[in-house]
Amino acid sequence: MVRTRFAPSPTGYLHIGGVRTALFNWLYARKHGGQFILRIDDTDQNRNVDSALQPILDGFRWLGIDWDEGPEVGGDCAPYFQSQRSDQYQRAVETLLEKGLAYRDYSRTEEVQAEREVAQSAGTSYLYSRNWMAETDAQAAAYEAEGRVAVVRLKMPREGTCLIPDLIRGDVEFQWASEQDMVIQKSNGSCLYHLASVVDDAAFAITHVIRAEEHLSNTPRQIFIAQGLGYDLPQYAHLPYVAEPGSKNKLSKRKIAKYLKNPDFLKLYEHGSRIATTCGNELDPETFNPVLVDFYRDIGFLPNAIVNYLLLLGWSLDGETEDFTRDEMIRAFSLERVVKSPASFDPTKLTAFQQRAMDQLDLKQKTAQSLPYLQQAGFIDTPPNCDTAPYVNSIITASEQRMTVAGDILDYAHFFTDDNALVYDDKSFSKRISNANGAVELLRDFANTLAAIESYNAASVEGAMRQFIADRELKFGQVVQPVRVAITGKPAGFGLFDTLAILGQQRCLNRIERAISLVPISPDNDSA
RNA sequence: GGCCCCUUCGUCUAGUGGCCUAGGACUCCGGCUUUUCACGCCGGCAACAGGGGUUCGAGUCCCCUAGGGGUCACCA
């Protein structure tokens, strides 16, 4: 039975790189009919675990990455919080101590630090002297009499090699002699990550440890612990990390300011900001960050787009296939095809996946996705009244493939504002209306034509406009442009006939009239 | 700095010795379509880090160099 796990620490947010690691674990478990376990690494926790964990669990649920055991679902290996498993770690420490594989160490932090500095300035690699190691109770008592407090350190071998068979990288060798005597239990009695992680992996019967490559170099000490405790070793698979856009540095939540200098990243961020701001949300720098999953959920990305993109970030089936359903990716996934080198996160390509995922949605789904944004922005009632859905449907239908994320519905704010509150884009207004020769007269003239239409719809509006143009021997653009600006306030948008039809006859007339009234009267304005 | 990992178009990648004149995708650039903006369609630019081997033949195997990255906590 394959059992994989992802072990987030409750930090309050879900990092995009973490999601990918979790995804690969999940995929591997699903592929092999195994189980995926979520374990919470809160061994070093002073924070509020509950509130810091919830966003992470919500994020996974939203993405459709479900766990068979863990917080909120329980399981045979409970508890799944490391903070509640300290007795097990304590027993492991004692076993290691008894076997002579660990020792109580009474050095003070400054003393070890000093040794380290000596080694550093000498340019040699550092190894703890074990000068304050206590292997007997008598030694311990003597140190304690000096007021010293013990930590427990691993007594690492100082010769031989450690071979890590890695499913992605092949065999990787480390020299035991270059491994530090890691502290596994702090002076305050709490146990550290490496110990806890190994104990739990064994307790949970994890068969495959699939994690980011930054853990590769600390695998030897984990193997040492596992072997010392008599555990069967899991299979290891070290994934390359997710890198910054356009670089090979590890993607980090904290470097957002730097990433914003990248044009693609900035574009995504601004796109998101526009939506969030229209919704009246404050841009909380702690969560409104394209390195975090919440960002995407907030602006209307689809889970499948993110998962599909992340799947291809460091894995490929054949170099051709790009679109996968969940079932397809589960069937196709394999660790053998994980790429060894780090992959940089490309906001533009993620957006392309999102665009495709959005295009695959049917009208009903798109509307359902969009409604919450209109509500948040206060454009429609909550709950929506019965006319709303059909109205939004017509907008989305007319928009064709212009919406990339659900929040883009807010680009069509002009369908929801009062006629006398429509905001005009200054540049377009002056270019197409106030400074365009004859535009005002033309609008007035066209308003009459519009008013005369009896059966008002996109087709009849189009017929009327074409006739209007033909009668006056105008160019299409001469009419379309000022009308568009007059009724939408914007220079660009979807089909004008659809726009006129959706808005309805009276509202269009109101808007044209208002646009005319807003033209400043000046002597050199010959259109007045 | 020690140790470890990595290195094909700008980016994600295909490639497991001849099918490679190095393929696909995203981006970008042209063109078509067009009522604007998108979509769509057609076309284009663009890569094997460098040097040595091995071989009839190397992106593919070996070695070296260079570059990039990760890790070296009483963090996870």
Is the distance from CB of A497 to CB of A465 less than 8 angstroms?
A: yes
Could you tell me which of A211, A227, A223, A241 has the C-alpha nearest to residue A39? Answer: A211
Gap from A65 CA to B2 C1', Å: 40
Give residue-wise pLDDT tens across range A26-60. 999 999 999 999 999 988 765 567 788 999 999 99
pLDDT band for A528, please (50, 70, 90 cuts): very low
Question: For the segment A79-93, what is each residue's pLDDT rounded down to a tens digit?
Answer: 999 999 999 999 999
User: Hey, which residues does A134 pair with through a beta bridge?
Assistant: A104
CB-to-strand B under 7 Å, chain A 458-497: 462, 476-477, 480-481, 484, 491-497
Contact A206, A3 (CB under 8 A): yes
Measure CA to C1' and name the residue nearest B1: A123
Question: Other CB atoms closer than 10 Å to residue A306's CB: what's the count?
Answer: 24
Tokens representing A49?
Answer: 């675990």
- Going by the DSSP 8-state scheme, the letter that residue A416 receives in this structure is T
Strand, coil or helix: A34? coil
**How far, rounded to the nearest angstrom, does the alpha carbon of residue A224 sit from its chain's CA centroid?**
35
8 Å CB contact between A6 and A212:
no
The pTM score is 0.94
Closest nucleotide to A317's CA, by C1' atom? B14
Q: Beta-carbon neighbour count of residue A331 at 10 Å?
A: 14
Helix (H, G, I), strand (E, B) or coil at A141: helix
For residue A383, whether the previous peptide bond is cis, meaning omega lies within 30 degrees of 0, is yes
Q: How far apart are CA A478 and CA A446, in angstroms?
A: 11
**How do residues A415-466 score in pLDDT, each as one tens digit?**
999 999 999 999 999 999 999 888 999 999 999 999 999 999 999 999 999 9
Q: Are A450 and A464 in contact (CB under 8 A)?
A: yes
Q: Across chain A, what does the average pLDDT equal? A: 93
In the complex, which nucleotide's C1' lies nearest to the CA atom of residue A178?
B3
Which nucleotide's C1' sits nearest to the alpha carbon of A44?
Answer: B75
Residue A523 CB lies within 7 Å of the nucleic strand B: no
The reply to whether the CB atom of residue A226 sits less than 7 A from any atom in nucleic acid chain B is no
Protein residue closest via CA to C1' of B68 = A248
Continuous segment of H or E residues that includes residue A274 = helix A263-278
* Closest nucleotide C1' to the C-alpha of A342: B6
CA of A56 to C1' of B26 (A): 29
Q: Is the CB of A215 under 7 A from strand B?
A: yes
Which positions of A are annotated as active-site residues?
Answer: 253
ipTM over 0.85: yes
Distance CA A269, CA A286 (A): 14
CA–C1' span, A166 to B61, in Å?
Answer: 21
Q: For position A46, what pLDDT does the model report?
A: 59
Half-sphere exposure of A463 (CA within 13 A, CB side): 9
Do A21 and A210 meet the contact criterion of CB atoms below 8 Å apart? yes
Q: Cβ of A18 < 7 Å from strand B?
A: no
Predicted local confidence at residue A236, as pLDDT: 96
Rounded Cα gap, residues A183 and A195, in angstroms: 9
* The Cα angle at residue A168 between residues A166 and A170, in degrees rounded to 5: 50
Contacts of A118 (CB under 8 A, 6+ apart): none
**Strands A151-154, A242-243: pairing kind:** unpaired
A312: CB within 7 A of chain B nucleic strand: yes
DSSP string, A201-239: HHHTT--EEEEEGGGGGGHHHHHHHHHHTTPPPPEEEEE
